[in-house]
Amino acid sequence: MYIYIHIPFCDCICSYCDFCKILYNNKYINNYLDNLEKEINCRYKNELIKSIYIGGGTPSSLSYQELERLFNIIKIFKLDSNYEFTIECNVNNLDINKIKLFKDNGVNRVSLGVQSFNKEILTILNRSHTYKEVYNVINNLKNNNINNINIDLIYGVNDNIDIVKKDIDYFLSIDIPHISCYSLIIEDNTLLKINNYQNIDEDIEYEMYKYIENKLTSNGYIHYEISNYAKEGYSSIHNINYWDNGSYYGFGLGSVSYIDNYRISNTKNISKYNKGIYISNREYEDMNTNMSNDMILGLRKIKGVSISKFYNKYKKDIREVFDIDDLINNKILIIDNDNMYIDSKYIYLSNQVLIRFIK
Ligand code: SF4
Q: How sure is the predictor about 96, in pLDDT bands with cuts at 50, 70 and 90?
A: very high
With the CA atoms of 107, 109, 111 and 112 taken in that order, what torsion angle do they form, in degrees rounded to the nearest 10? 80
Residue 274 CB coordination number (10 Å): 16
Q: Is 90 exceeded by the pLDDT of residue 137?
A: yes
* Smallest CA separation from ligand 1 atom 3, residue: 57
Share above pLDDT 90 across residues of the chain, in percent, rounded to a whole number: 96
Q: Cβ neighbours of residue 275 under 8 Å, at least 6 residues apart?
A: none
What's the mean pLDDT in 139-158?
Answer: 97
The whole-number pLDDT of residue 151 equals 97
Q: How far is the CA of 72 from the centre of ligand 1 (A)?
A: 25
Task: Average the pLDDT over 17-28 and give the result.
Answer: 91
Cα→Cα distances 26→35, 62, 94, 102, 210, Å: 15, 9, 17, 21, 43
Which residue type does 318 have?
I
Q: Tell me what pLDDT residue 27 has.
A: 86
The overall average pLDDT reported for the chain is: 96
Nearest CA to ligand 1 atom 2: 57
Report which of residues 359 and 316 the model is more confident about: 316
Question: Three-class SS of residue 218?
Answer: coil
Ligand 1 in contact with 17 (CB < 6 A)? yes
Mean pLDDT, residues 338-353 = 92
Q: What is the pLDDT of residue 358?
A: 93
Atom of ligand 1 nearest to the CA of 16: 7
Q: Which of 252, 182, 209, 296 is nearest to 37 (CA)?
A: 252
Q: Where are the alpha helices (DSSP H) in 59-160?
A: 64-73, 96-104, 119-125, 131-143
If you average pLDDT over residues 81-90, what whole number do you get? 97
Say if residue 340's pLDDT is above 90.
yes
pLDDT of residue 26 exceeding 90, the answer is no
Could you give the residue ranges of the DSSP H alpha helices within the chain?
26-43, 64-73, 96-104, 119-125, 131-143, 161-174, 191-194, 202-217, 237-243, 270-273, 287-298, 307-314, 318-321, 325-329, 350-354
- The answer to whether residues 299 and 305 touch, using CB atoms and an 8 Å cutoff, is yes
HSE-CB at 337 with a 13 A cutoff on CA atoms is 1
Best residue among 7, 13, 54, 93 to mutate for probing ligand 1, ranked by most atoms within 8 Å of CB: 13
Angstrom CA distances, 111 to 55, 86, 114, 147, stand at 9, 7, 9, 11
All structural domains of the chain: 2-242 (3.20.20.70), 305-359 (no CATH)
What whole-number distance in Å separates Cα of residue 213 and Cα of residue 236? Answer: 18
**Position 349 confidence tier, pLDDT thresholds 50, 70, 90:** confident
pLDDT exceeds cutoff 90 at 216: yes
Say if CB 155 and CB 124 are below 8 A apart. no
Residues ≥6 apart with Cβ < 8 Å to 100: 144
Instruction: Give the amino acid at 14.
Output: C
**Which amino acid would we find at residue 244?**
D
pLDDT category, 341, cuts 50, 70, 90? Answer: very high
Nearest CA to ligand 1 atom 7: 17
pLDDT over 90 (residue 154):
yes
pLDDT at site 359: 82
Q: What pLDDT is recorded for position 348?
A: 86
Helix (H) / strand (E) element for 48: namely strand 48-56
Which residues does residue 52 pair with via DSSP β-bridges, in sequence order? 3, 85
Average pLDDT on 216-226 reads 97
109-115 vs 48-56, strand pairing mode: unpaired
Tell me which of 237 and 26 has the higher pLDDT. 237
